[in-house]
Structure 1
Amino acid sequence: MLVGQKERGIFINGEWRESYSGTYRTITNPATLEKLTEISYGGKEDALEAVEEAKAAFPLWSKKTARERSTFLYKAYEKMLEHKERLAQILTSEQGKPLSESRTEIESAASYLLWYAEEANRVYGEIIPSSKANRRSHVIPHAIGVIAAITPWNFPASMVTRKLGPSLAAGCTVVLKPASQTPLTAMEIVKIFEEVGLPKGVLNLVTGDARAVGEALTQSPDVRLITFTGSTEVGRELMKNSAQHIKKLSLELGGHAPIIIMDDAKLDVAVDLTLASKFRNCGQTCICANRVYVHKKIADSFVEKLVTKVKNMKIGNGNEESTVIGPMIDRNAVEKAAEHVEDAVKNGAAIASGGNEWDGDLAGYFYEPTVLVNVNDQMKVMNEETFGPVLPIDTFDSVEDVIEKANQLPYGLAAYVMTESTNHVFKLTEALEYGIIGVNDVFPATAEAPFGGIKESGFGKEGGKEGIHEFVEMKYVSIGITE
C-alpha cells in the first residue's frame, strides 16, 4: 500500500480490479484526518460476481483433503507474523488504535489461522450403532458452501481471520466484505493468501457500499451462510433479508458488558483490569466494560484509584509508542459518546474525570477517557452501547441485587467478575446470562475457545472446535445391507 495512490479494492477470482461503478472512496487516518489512499468502492454487481466465482471454486476446494487446505493456513499464519510490524502500522493508520494494541491484534489474528490449520484435520464424522442388524448408520461432515463474511472496523485484522480461518479450513469458499472505514488491513490479509498460492476464487474481497453489497449477499441463493460481526440492528436486517432462502447465519452482535467487583476482590487488580477492558481501543470493543457495579464497601477507594490512573492516560496518535488512548473512528462516534455523557449528567450523574472532546493538537476524532459516578438505570449510558471511552460506575449491596442489575438488559455477550471467593465465582457465573464470562480476566477471546453471545447479542460461535462447526453440515447416511 502506497500512501496517496489509488488502490484496487476488489479481488475476484485471483485478480485485483476496479469496481464496476469505477468509483473510489478516500480512506483517512482518524487521528490526523490525513488521506491515506483511495480504494475502489464496489456494489451489487461486484458482490454477485464474487459469489459466482466462489461458487465455481467450491467443488475443487471442498474436495481437497483437510491436510491440503491446512497447508495454506499454516503458510498465511507464518506470513502474517513475518509482516507483523507492517500490518500493525497499516491497522493503526486506518483505525487509530495504539501501535501496541495493533501488534497484539495481528498476533491474535494470526493465531486463528494457526488454530484452524490444526483444527481442519479434526472435523470428525460418526458411526452410529444401528438398532437393526441389516442397517449401517454414518454421519459425514461436508462444507456448507459459499460463505459471506462481513467484518467490522474496530478489529480489522482479527475479525477477518476469525472468519476466514474456520471457513477455509472446513472447505468453504468465501466472499469477504470488510468495513468501509477500514478496508486496508483486510486487503493486506487477502494479499498474503494470494502470495501463499490459495487457488483462484476460493477467497474473494469486495470493498464498497455496505447496504448494496450486504443486500446482494443476503439475497443470493448461492450464499449458504453469512457470518457477521456488528450491531444488533444490522443483525436484524441480515436475518430478515436472509429469510427468503433460509440462509444460515452466525451473528456476533452488540453487547453491554457489566463488570461486577465484589468486596473481596483485590482492589488494585480490579482497577487495572477495569481500565484495560474499558479503554482498550478507546472503548470501541464489543466486549469492553460498559458499566461497572462495585460493592458499596469498596466503592470510594475503587473510584479514587481508578480516576487517578485515568487522568494520567496519554491521549494522542496511535503511531506514537507512548499513546494509550487513540482516536475514535469518526465524528458520529464522538457525538454519541458526548450525548451519553450529557444525558447522564442531566439525569443526576457526576463526572469524576474527563467528559469533553479532547482539545489537543491533532485534528482527529478524540474524546477524553471519562468516568461517571452517581449513575442510575434510566440513563442512556446504562442501557445503550456507548462504544466509546465512557465508564459509568454504580454500586450494589448484595449478590442477588447485582445479578438482577447485570441481567436486566437484552444483551448477553460478555460479563466480568472480580472476586477471590469460589462461592461468588460459581454463584455469579451460573446466574449471569452471558455467552462469555471472565473471572479476574478481561481478555477472554482466544483462538482455542468458543466466542459468542446469547439473547440479542447473537448466536453462533467463533473460535475453538465449535467455530469450525458453523461452516460444516452433517449428512446422515443410512445404508441397508441386502442378503
Structure 2
Amino acid sequence: MSGQQNYDLFIDGSWTRPASGQTLAVENPATGETIAHVARGNETDVNRAVSAAEAAFPAWSRLVATERADYLYRLKDLIERDAEDFARTISTEMGKPIKEACVEVAFATGLLRFAAENVRRLQGEIIPGSRPGEKILIERKPVGVVGAIAAWNFPLALTCRKLGPALAAGNTIVVKPHEMTPIASLKLAKLVEEAGIPKGVVNIVTGDGPEVGVPLVAHPGTRLITMTGSTPAGKKIMAAAAEHLKIVRLELGGKAPFIVADDADLNRAAEAAVLARFGNAGQVCTANERTYVDAGVYDEFVGKITDRIHALKVGNPLDEATDMGPKVCGPELEKVDKMVKRAVEQGATLVFGGHRLTGGLYDKGQFYAPTLLTGVTHEMDIAHDEVFGPVMIVMKTSSFEDAITKANDCRYGLSAYVFTESLERIMRMSNELDFGEIYVNRESGEAPQGFHHGYRDSGVGGEDGQHGLEAYVETKTIYLNA
C-alpha cells in the first residue's frame, strides 16, 4: 500500500502495483470530493490473482474444516474491532447513512460467523449400493477458485457474503469490488493479512467491469462465478461463463411488491413501507418498489406514509440524525429522475419530490428528494422497471387476490412484502406469491442463516444460510467395494 488514501492491488498476500500503472478515483457522493485513488487493474492482474489462488488452493482445501473456521472467526473479530472505521468508510464512499452503515458492518460479521460455525455441516451421504457389500459415498468437495464480483450498494457485506462461505468450504477467491466503492474491500484485505490467512487464499483486484470483471469471468481457472449486480450484467456473465461451463450464482435486480391488505396494522405497515423504500436511498435489491394498498384503507395509508416521508432527514451521511443520504453517483440520480418524469407523462400523480435537492450541502452531492407517486397503473413503465432510488409508487387494489395477481405480474422474483392479520391470507400468499423471499408483517433485512434468492430476472442460485454455503461445493460419488 503506497499511502493512506492510495491503494494497490492485494494479490498473493502482497500489495502490488497494477500492470497498467494507472489508478481510479473514488468519489464521495455526498460532497463530490475525491477521497482515494485505487489501482486500475486489468487482465494481467487478474491472471496473476487467479494463479495465486490456484497455487494456494491445494493446501487451503486440505486444512481441517475447523482450522479454516478459526481464520474466519479471527477475521470477524478484527472487523468488529474496526467496526466504526468500516462504517465511516462505507458512508464516505457509498453515501449510506452512518446508522445504516453500522448495520451493514454487523451483517457482514454475521455472515462470516455463520460460515465459520457451519464448516462441519457440509455433510456427505452413504447410500446402499447395488452390489453385495457395496456402499455409495457422496462427498462434498470445494470447487476451486471462486471469482466474486460485488455491487456498490453494500461494499463490505457483499464481499463478506461471498468470501465467508467460499473460504469455509475450502475454496480460494479473487474478489472484484465495484469501482465506485472499493475501499471497504481493500481495508478488509488488510485484516486478511492481520488474521494470518495464507497467501493467495484471498485476492482483491480493483478496476472496472471490462478490464477486470470480464477477464475474471472468462479465465479458465475460475470454476465458480458469484456476482451481485444488475440483471443485464448478470446475463452477460452467464453467457461468458458458458464457454468453460462454469458454475454461476447471480443475485440480480428486484421489483419487490409491498402488499397492504384491508386488515393490516396500518401504522406498522406504513413504517415498514417507508423503511423498505427509502433505506439506503432506495438502493437495495429487496427494496419496496411498488406498494399495493387495498382500496378500503388506501387514503388512510397514503396519509400515514406521507407524514413519515416528510419526516425523513436527508443530509450528511456521517450525521447520526440523517435518515437518507445521496444517490451513489450522478448517472444513477439522472436515471431515477427520468423514470419519475416518464411516470408523470404516463399519468401518475407526483404528490411531492421528483427533483434533485439543491442548496448548501445538496449542491455538492448527488441528493434526490424523497418522492411519492400515486395513481400509478400497471401499464406504466415505472410499475415494471427497477427504480433503485428514493421513489415510492402506490397503487390501489380491489382485493387481496387482485394484489397478488398484480404483484406476480413482474419479470423479477426476488423479494415481496405482505401485511395482513389473516392466517388464511398468509397461507394463500405462501402458495401463490411467486418470489424467493417474502417478508410478512415486517420490514426488509435478511438474516445470515436464511436463504437469499430470487426467481426469473432476479438471478439464479442464492446466498446465505446452509443452502448458500452448499453452493460453494460440488459432489463426488464413490462406489465403494472391498
Give TM class, smaller chain.
over 0.9
Shift of 1:274: 0.2
1:261 maps to what in 2?
260
In the alignment, the residues of structure 2 paired with residue 368 and residue 141 of structure 1 have an alpha-carbon distance, to the nearest angstrom, of: 50
CA contact (8 A) 1:255 1:411 kept: yes
The answer to which of 440-449 and 363-372 deviates more is: 440-449
CA contact (8 A) 2:128 2:134 kept: no
User: Aligned in 2, Cα 1:138/1:395: closer, same or farther, shift over 3 Å?
Assistant: same
1:455 maps to what in 2?
456
TM-score by length of 1: 0.98
Gaps of 5+ in 2: none
1:72 maps to what in 2?
71
Deviation digits for residues 396-428 of structure 1, max 9, x if unmatched? 112221111111111000000011110111111
Shift of 1:87: 0.7
Gaps of 5+ in 1: none
2:301 maps to what in 1?
302
In the alignment, the residues of structure 1 paired with residue 337 and residue 155 of structure 2 have an alpha-carbon distance, to the nearest angstrom, of: 25
In the alignment, the residues of structure 2 paired with residue 118 and residue 315 of structure 1 have an alpha-carbon distance, to the nearest angstrom, of: 39
Shift of 1:122: 1.1
In the alignment, the residues of structure 2 paired with residue 69 and residue 441 of structure 1 have an alpha-carbon distance, to the nearest angstrom, of: 35
Shift of 1:429: 2.2
TM-score by length of 2: 0.98
Deviation digits for residues 456-479 of structure 1, max 9, x if unmatched? 111112111011111101100002
Q: Give the secondary structure class of the aligned counterpart of 1:358.
A: coil
Shift of 1:353: 2.2
1:476 aligns with 2:474: no
In the alignment, the residues of structure 2 paired with residue 2 and residue 55 of structure 1 have an alpha-carbon distance, to the nearest angstrom, of: 27
In the alignment, the residues of structure 2 paired with residue 277 and residue 401 of structure 1 have an alpha-carbon distance, to the nearest angstrom, of: 22
In the alignment, the residues of structure 2 paired with residue 430 and residue 291 of structure 1 have an alpha-carbon distance, to the nearest angstrom, of: 21
Amino acid at match of 2:419: M
In the alignment, the residues of structure 2 paired with residue 3 and residue 402 of structure 1 have an alpha-carbon distance, to the nearest angstrom, of: 55
1:35 aligns with 2:43: no
In the alignment, the residues of structure 2 paired with residue 73 and residue 4 of structure 1 have an alpha-carbon distance, to the nearest angstrom, of: 26
2:433 maps to what in 1?
432
In the alignment, the residues of structure 2 paired with residue 140 and residue 291 of structure 1 have an alpha-carbon distance, to the nearest angstrom, of: 44
1:354 maps to what in 2?
353
2:412 maps to what in 1?
411
CA contact (8 A) 1:375 1:392 kept: yes
2:6 maps to what in 1?
6
User: Aligned in 2, Cα 1:165/1:344: closer, same or farther, shift over 3 Å?
Assistant: same
1:137 maps to what in 2?
136
Amino acid at match of 1:7: Y
Matches within 5 A, 1:188-337: 188-337=187-336
Q: Give the secondary structure class of the aligned counterpart of 2:279.
A: helix
CA contact (8 A) 1:173 1:201 kept: yes
Matches within 5 A, 1:51-70: 51-70=50-69
Deviation digits for residues 51-86 of structure 1, max 9, x if unmatched? 011001000000001001000000111111111111
Percent identity of equivalent pairs? 39
In the alignment, the residues of structure 1 paired with residue 317 and residue 148 of structure 2 have an alpha-carbon distance, to the nearest angstrom, of: 27
CA contact (8 A) 1:112 1:463 kept: yes
In the alignment, the residues of structure 2 paired with residue 57 and residue 5 of structure 1 have an alpha-carbon distance, to the nearest angstrom, of: 29
CA contact (8 A) 1:120 1:170 kept: yes
CA contact (8 A) 1:41 1:208 kept: yes
User: Aligned in 2, Cα 1:2/1:29: closer, same or farther, shift over 3 Å?
Assistant: farther
CA contact (8 A) 2:178 2:208 kept: no
User: Aligned in 2, Cα 1:4/1:12: closer, same or farther, shift over 3 Å?
Assistant: closer
In the alignment, the residues of structure 2 paired with residue 32 and residue 459 of structure 1 have an alpha-carbon distance, to the nearest angstrom, of: 37
2:108 maps to what in 1?
109
CA contact (8 A) 1:376 1:394 kept: yes
Amino acid at match of 1:176: V
Amino acid at match of 1:402: A
In the alignment, the residues of structure 1 paired with residue 214 and residue 376 of structure 2 have an alpha-carbon distance, to the nearest angstrom, of: 40
In the alignment, the residues of structure 1 paired with residue 384 and residue 359 of structure 2 have an alpha-carbon distance, to the nearest angstrom, of: 30
1:441 maps to what in 2?
442
In the alignment, the residues of structure 2 paired with residue 23 and residue 380 of structure 1 have an alpha-carbon distance, to the nearest angstrom, of: 40
Amino acid at match of 1:208: G
CA contact (8 A) 1:2 1:37 kept: no
Amino acid at match of 2:198: P
In the alignment, the residues of structure 2 paired with residue 18 and residue 104 of structure 1 have an alpha-carbon distance, to the nearest angstrom, of: 33
Shift of 1:95: 0.4
In the alignment, the residues of structure 2 paired with residue 467 and residue 30 of structure 1 have an alpha-carbon distance, to the nearest angstrom, of: 32
The answer to which of 271-280 and 311-320 deviates more is: 311-320
1:165 aligns with 2:164: yes
In the alignment, the residues of structure 2 paired with residue 322 and residue 3 of structure 1 have an alpha-carbon distance, to the nearest angstrom, of: 32
Q: Give the secondary structure class of the aligned counterpart of 2:347.
A: coil
1:187 maps to what in 2?
186
Amino acid at match of 2:207: G
Q: Give the secondary structure class of the aligned counterpart of 2:355.
A: coil
In the alignment, the residues of structure 2 paired with residue 63 and residue 46 of structure 1 have an alpha-carbon distance, to the nearest angstrom, of: 27
In the alignment, the residues of structure 2 paired with residue 448 and residue 5 of structure 1 have an alpha-carbon distance, to the nearest angstrom, of: 35
In the alignment, the residues of structure 1 paired with residue 152 and residue 37 of structure 2 have an alpha-carbon distance, to the nearest angstrom, of: 17
Q: Give the secondary structure class of the aligned counterpart of 2:421.
A: coil
Q: Give the secondary structure class of the aligned counterpart of 1:21.
A: coil
CA contact (8 A) 1:4 1:35 kept: no
Root-mean-square deviation (Å): 1.2
Q: Give the secondary structure class of the aligned counterpart of 2:360.
A: coil
In the alignment, the residues of structure 2 paired with residue 304 and residue 280 of structure 1 have an alpha-carbon distance, to the nearest angstrom, of: 20
Shift of 1:4: 7.4
1:152 maps to what in 2?
151
CA contact (8 A) 1:3 1:37 kept: no
In the alignment, the residues of structure 1 paired with residue 324 and residue 355 of structure 2 have an alpha-carbon distance, to the nearest angstrom, of: 14
In the alignment, the residues of structure 2 paired with residue 275 and residue 15 of structure 1 have an alpha-carbon distance, to the nearest angstrom, of: 44
1:388 maps to what in 2?
389
CA contact (8 A) 1:265 1:418 kept: yes
Amino acid at match of 2:369: E
Amino acid at match of 1:334: L
Amino acid at match of 1:13: D
In the alignment, the residues of structure 1 paired with residue 465 and residue 7 of structure 2 have an alpha-carbon distance, to the nearest angstrom, of: 35
Shift of 1:3: 9.0
Deviation digits for residues 435-471 of structure 1, max 9, x if unmatched? 1001012224111111111111111121110111111
In the alignment, the residues of structure 2 paired with residue 6 and residue 336 of structure 1 have an alpha-carbon distance, to the nearest angstrom, of: 30
1:379 maps to what in 2?
380
Q: Give the secondary structure class of the aligned counterpart of 2:155.
A: coil
Deviation digits for residues 199-246 of structure 1, max 9, x if unmatched? 000000000121221221122111000000001100100011111100
Q: Give the secondary structure class of the aligned counterpart of 1:157.
A: helix
Amino acid at match of 1:427: R
In the alignment, the residues of structure 2 paired with residue 87 and residue 444 of structure 1 have an alpha-carbon distance, to the nearest angstrom, of: 20
2:402 maps to what in 1?
401
